[in-house]
Amino acid sequence: MKKRDNLPLNYKERLNSRTSFLVSIAVLVVLCLVFNQMDYTMIRQPAAQAKKAADLQKQKEEEAAATTQEVTTATVLAVGDNLVQPSLLASGQSETGAWNYDSVYANLKSDIQAADIAMVNQETPFTTDHSAVSGTAPYATPTEIGDALVNAGFNVVTSATALIDDNGSSMINETLNYWETSHPDVTLVGIHKNQSGIDTPKIVEINGIKIAFLNYTFPSYGSQTVSSGDSTDSSDGSANDSASSDTSGSSTGDADSSGSTDTSTSGKGSMIDTFSTADVAAAIKQAKASADCVIFSANWGKTEEPMPTEYEKEWANFLMEQGVDVVIGTNPNVLQPYGYLTDDSGHNMLIYYSLGNFVTGQETLKQLLGGMAAFTIQKTVDGDQTSIQIQDATLTPLVMHYSYDTLEYAPYKLDDYTDALASAHSVRQSIGDEFSLENLQTKYDEIMSMNVTPSTKTDLLDVTFDSDGNMLDSNGNYVEDNDSITSSWYYQTLATQSSSSSDGSGSDHSGADASDDNSEG
């Protein structure tokens, strides 16, 4: 048959061609469906399932992390020196022979009891012998004062002070026995029955937070302990609290000038925790190994001086370097600034240089102005990581009120104090109109505005003190303090700088508010 060139396809040929085309399309469609299913089954579905599993695992981990992270808090309140003097002693004695001082602390009882930890610095030793009681040096305080402190809600008492050894080791032992037998739940810090208790932190657990307490005072030359003499002033930060008594003339149960208790055996060297870099560093190390937070109470500073001394500042820096979380200062009998210190590693240490007097019969405006510190310890446990933060630090100014006429003796919050109360204060017999509500507020603002310059020196860390408060080196030679400044000098300098600035001849270097300073004070 002759070949047909370039002729149109006949019907049969067109049908076969169309069929082949349709079959090809069908095959392609089937192949696409097959490959799509294979892609879903072998690639996309496993990937989606893997992503879903990963998302589910992540969600579970986040939920687990949220579940295991635990945050707990403990609130702390602290006040300054509890120093009971003659007229106050008389106010608590009834005609029946019973002694009671609950009313002294009644104004602040609700605040004290609201805190998980409430701290007070008990300046003087306790005695159960009313005939031995003395509101002047050598001090001996009735145990009924301790009962009143406990009834008010205080549960941590610091007693490494300049006056605790006034009547020797016998009355320190009496003090220890009183707390141990009458109030065993109270944590007593700073004094011990024997050498084995020295430099040993006391640990209290609140809401799962272990808090270690340490309390140290001035060392005296040759004994590494506080001196027991009676001094009225000091050169740097006395080893002796001046503790000037009130002049009401109503001293009941006072000891004679030599003290009615046995002072032949002193508590020096074996019963009182005293500053020593080696001992303090070891005690802090032990505290940090056993507790979450370390609170260090320091009996230091110059009496009646609102500006921290170089001795205080050097020790503050040392304590920060050891990892202390909070420092609470006492002894100057007046307020000093507070704030934070921060080291190179980012560790923050809250420091109240001095809380001043809590209860006293002293007779200057600044001695009657104290402070009540408050802060919160927050512990966060996240898996195997634990962190501690000190939060919400405040200082509430207090006023010690007393009236010889009404026999009212009690600290008030400055915010609750009135002009009428100020006018009725018996200190006006000594200082007149200087004592006023306005002047109290002005003095508080003045002290808190001082900018405390941190110190990185170590020259004074291991000095000791003689009975007059003079600093001595290890050989007994006098050590000069060339770095401390007074609050008077500070404000004179500010006034001079301010005057120069207003004349256009200088710049103003006024102090920042203590609580806002990022470094100190």
Considering only CA atoms, which of 157, 73, 158, 75 is closest in space to residue 116? 75
> What CA–CA distance (Å, rounded) separates 250 from 399?
22
Mean pLDDT, the chain, as a whole number? 85
- Cα distances from 211 to residues 190, 292, 381, in angstroms, run 15, 6, 16
pLDDT for 309: 97
3-state secondary structure of 435: coil
Structure tokens at 288: 């940090």
Question: Who's near 357: CB < 8 A, 6+ residues apart?
Answer: 80, 81, 83, 333, 334, 367, 368, 370, 400
> What CA–CA distance (Å, rounded) separates 76 from 115?
6
Assign residue 433 a region (left: φ > 0; alpha: ψ between -120 and 50; beta: otherwise).
alpha
The alpha carbon of 406 is separated from its chain's Cα centroid by a whole number of angstroms, namely 35
3-state secondary structure of 325: coil
Report the predicted TM-score, pTM, of the whole model to 2 decimal places.
Answer: 0.80
Contact indicator for 371, 329 with CB cutoff of 8 Å: no
Residue at token pair 């080893």: 239
Question: Who's near 32: CB < 8 A, 6+ residues apart?
Answer: none
3-state secondary structure of 507: coil
Contact indicator for 136, 186 with CB cutoff of 8 Å: no
pLDDT for 27: 75
The low-confidence residues of the chain, meaning pLDDT below 70, are 1-16, 39, 64-67, 221-269, 501-521
Q: Residues of 90-124 as b/e, b for ≥16 C-beta within 10 angstroms?
A: bbbbeeeeebebeebbebbeebbeebbbbbbbbbb
The 10 Å Cβ neighbour count of residue 412 is 16
Half-sphere exposure of 413 (CA within 13 A, CB side): 13
pLDDT 10s digits, 287-330: 999 999 999 999 999 999 999 999 999 999 999 999 999 999 99
> What CA–CA distance (Å, rounded) separates 12 from 241?
127
Q: With 0-12 CB in 10 A as exposed, 13-18 as middle and 19+ as buried, what is 55?
A: exposed
DSSP string, 80-149: EEE---HHHHHHTB-TTS-B--GGGGGGGHHHHHHSSEEEEEE-S-EES-GGG-BSSSSPBEEHHHHHHH
3-class DSSP string for 149-206 = HHHHCCCEEECCCCCCCCCHHHHHHHHHHHHHHHCCCCEEECECCCHHHCCCCEEEEE
pLDDT 10s digits, 98-108: 999 999 999 99
Give the CA radius of gyration of the chain. Answer: 36
- Match domain 70-448 to its CATH number in 3.40.630.30, 3.20.20.140, 3.30.70.560, 3.60.21.10: 3.60.21.10
Residue 315 phi, psi dihedral angles, 5° rounding: -70, -35
> What CA–CA distance (Å, rounded) separates 373 from 336?
12
pLDDT for 373: 99
pLDDT 10s digits, 441-498: 999 999 999 999 999 999 999 999 988 889 999 999 999 999 999 999 999 988 888 7
Contact indicator for 81, 47 with CB cutoff of 8 Å: no
Domain boundaries, the chain: 70-448
Structure tokens at 128: 């159960």
pLDDT for 506: 44
pLDDT for 29: 76
Residue 162 phi, psi dihedral angles, 5° rounding: -75, -10
Contact indicator for 315, 233 with CB cutoff of 8 Å: no
> What CA–CA distance (Å, rounded) separates 191 from 12?
120
pLDDT 10s digits, 190-211: 999 987 788 889 999 999 999 9
**Residue count (the chain):** 521
> What CA–CA distance (Å, rounded) separates 339 from 21?
90
